[in-house]
Amino acid sequence: MTQSRRETLQWMMAAAALPLARWSPPANAAAQRTPPPFDVIADWPATLPALPPTKGYGRDPDLMAPRVPWPLTLSKAQRATVDLLGDLVLPADAQSPGAGTLGVGAFVDEWISAPYPIQRKDREQVLGGLIWLDAQSRVLHGATFDSITPGQRAVLLDALTVATPAAGMAKPVAFMDTLRHLFVLGFYSLPEGKADMGYIGDEPTPGDYPGPSPEALTHLTAVLAGLGLAAS
């Protein structure tokens, strides 16, 4: 094996999986932790609904007609909340629609309903996080996350997007980290997401590979000059 698989997505995921799986981050000093902008933190749910018994697609699935064989498990309300979060974390702008509008909730549902180890672990975080998010919204505003104001949601999302969470916020922040990664994967693997990144490729180009465009070469020349490197 080499890591020369062209598919960027696969490469990045494989590369991400290898060294980090062997590494545990050092405990952060308590003094550096970021407290949330609220005093009461809801409890992380003690129990979560188990994944119903189900099977993966097996070692020899039909590659010409791919399909997801496991049942999806998010409730309608949970799916709607994930789509709502998708449109907040990756919102519509001039270049592309919001991730929720594109249905990233369906992808997250497929992911956390899959019977594989990584997905099962992510399931704990996502399901736990969705329950916690509604509980915390109730603590603060007496309503579930989908019923509070955009400003109130933003405060919560800010609190869930810190590098070094305070003790009671560790699990909720890990939930948002996982969800954010899933949103990025789910959104940018779609044609709309690829277009947003300006991705060019995935189309046969017979003949010799043309190589970088003149604009790309001009940019590289400037990069090399900036780094004090000679072109070679």
Q: Which of residues 70-89 bind other proteins (CB under 8 A)?
A: 88-89
Mapping DSSP onto H, E and C, the string for 146-207 reads HHCCHHHHHHHHHHCCCCCECHHHHHHHHHHHHHHHHHHHHHHCCHHHHHHHCCCCCCCCCC
Look-up: residue for tokens 């997250």? Answer: 108
Query: Within 42-71, which residues bind other proteins (CB under 8 A)?
Result: 56-61, 63-64, 66-69
| Cα–Cα distance, 217 to 224 (Å, whole number) | 10
Shortest Å, Cβ 55 to other proteins? 10
Cβ-based nearer residue to other proteins, 40 or 200? 200
Q: What is the CA 105 to chain-centroid distance, rounded?
A: 11
Residue 85 near residue 73, CB atoms below 8 Å: no
Instruction: Report how far residue 197's alpha carbon sits from residue 96's, in angstroms, rounded to the nearest whole number.
Output: 10
Nearest distance from C-beta of residue 189 to other proteins, angstroms: 4
Residues 171-200 close enough to bind other proteins by CB under 8 A = 176-177, 180-181, 184-186, 188-191, 193, 196-200
**Binding region for other proteins (CB under 8 A) out of 6-14, 38-46, 129-137, 144-152:** 6-14
Look at residue 143 and give its three-state secondary structure: coil
CA nearest to 55, candidates 112, 118, 115 = 115
The answer to the question of residue 220 lying near other proteins (CB under 8 A) is yes
Q: How many helices (H) and strands (E) does the chain have?
A: 8, 0
Which C-beta is closer to other proteins: that of 25 or that of 151? 25
Amino acid identity of 173?
V
Nearer to other proteins, 151 or 206 (CB): 206
- Return the residues of window 125-164 that contact other proteins according to CB under 8 A: 157, 161-163
Q: Which is nearer to other proteins, 42 or 114 (CB)?
A: 114
> Does residue 28 bind other proteins (CB under 8 A)?
no
Which CB atom, from 10 or from 149, has the smaller least distance to other proteins?
A: 10
One of 28, 95, 147, 149 touching other proteins (CB under 8 A): 95
Nearer to other proteins by Cβ, of 41 and 89: the residue is 89
